[in-house]
Amino acid sequence: MECVAWFPERKGFLSQQKLAGMNPVMLDSERVCRHTAMSAAGPPARGIPKQETIMNTPGIIIRDEKESDASIITGITVAAFADMEISDHTEQFVITALRSAGALSMSLVAEVDGRVVGHIAFSPVEISDGTRDWYGLGPVSVRPEYQRRGIGKALIREGLARLKSMGARGCCLVGHADYYPRFGFENVPGMVVAGVPAEAFFALSFDGNMPRGDVRFHEAFLAKGERKP
Ligand SMILES: CC(C)(COP(=O)(O)OP(=O)(O)OC[C@H]1O[C@@H](n2cnc3c(N)ncnc32)[C@H](O)[C@@H]1OP(=O)(O)O)[C@@H](O)C(=O)NCCC(=O)NCCS
């Protein structure tokens, strides 16, 4: 499902001070994390330290996207949404537009046996009550032949953990009612996205405070094709 809300370009995600002081992802029973050298992994995406996380699910590595992953991410996204009737098949353009706008706050890929097979994007959202540091989750995609092996779950859990460790205050998305509650997402009365049914909008507060009001995703969610140079 596609988010169709619009908001004027906003470049301030988390403050650079917060990002600079960001701790490595906490170790827990499901995740073993190590930082990769920035020089080896290329420049950090929007100043967020590069990390690679080996999930407990055997063989899955979650890491930040590299420049060379961009076309692979497009391919995964196209394939994942290809048979989905409710999709207008523009999700790959959304990711590219977010990247171009500097609004791809976090872009993680899942590797299995050295092959990139899954992807998740996070971007800043604007909330009309003034709450800051909330992020939109999506699109999230797993190659059809790799679905239902826990890769989507690993991407979402890792993405949420990293958002929290960055100091984000919450995350929201438009998506399937059967899938996202398992991660703690809930429908929130009074928190709405224009044009999106209430039962398809989900929010997860990290700090115990649930915002109220209109949520606007980045205007990149309106992207319908690649921009010609
Ligand atoms: C949604 C998606 C990312 C999940 O990734 P995945 O690796 O297949 O998911 P996991 O293996 O971690 O989880 C599988 C579970 O999710 C459920 N699930 C997967 N896709 C689902 C969907 N579209 N709706 C509801 N449940 C879904 C499965 O039924 C399974 O449930 P179970 O654990 O109770 O058996 C992947 O199926 C995908 O790319 N789908 C097409 C694109 C898409 O719908 N993206 C999300 C848009 S909101």
Best probe residue, ligand 1, of 83, 142, 155 (max atoms within 8 Å of C-beta): 142
Residue 93 CA, ligand 1 centroid: distance in Å: 21
| Ramachandran assignment for 197, one of left (phi > 0), alpha (psi -120 to 50 degrees), beta (any other) | beta
Q: How much is the pLDDT for 35?
A: 26
Q: How much is the pLDDT for 118?
A: 98
Best probe residue, ligand 1, of 176, 201, 217 (max atoms within 8 Å of C-beta): 176
Residue 149 CA, ligand 1 centroid: distance in Å: 9
**Given this structure, which CATH class describes domain 53-222?**
alpha beta
Nearest CA to ligand 1 atom 26: 179
- Enumerate the domain spans of the chain: 53-222
Q: Is the CB of 109 under 6 A from ligand 1?
A: no
Whole-structure pTM value: 0.81
Neighbours of 82 (CB within 10 A): 10
Instruction: For tokens 């009737």, name the residue.
Output: 85
Q: Is the CB of 143 under 6 A from ligand 1?
A: no
Q: pLDDT truncated to tens, each residue of the chain (229 aa)?
A: 343 222 222 222 232 223 223 222 222 323 332 222 222 223 333 445 567 776 656 789 999 999 999 999 999 999 999 999 989 999 999 999 999 999 999 999 999 999 999 999 999 999 999 999 999 999 999 999 999 999 999 999 999 999 999 999 999 999 999 999 999 999 999 999 999 999 999 999 999 999 999 999 999 999 998 765 5
Q: How much is the pLDDT for 151?
A: 97
Whether the CB-CB separation of 206 and 171 falls below 8 Å is answered with: yes
Amino acid in position 84: M
Q: Is the CB of 75 under 6 A from ligand 1?
A: no
Q: How much is the pLDDT for 216?
A: 98
Taking each helix axis from N to C terminus, what angle separates 70-81 and 91-100, rounded to the nearest 10 degrees?
150
Cα angle 193, 93, 70 (rounded to 5 degrees) comes to: 125
**For residues 126 and 134, what is the distance between their CA atoms, to the nearest angstrom?**
7
Q: Is the CB of 120 under 6 A from ligand 1?
A: no
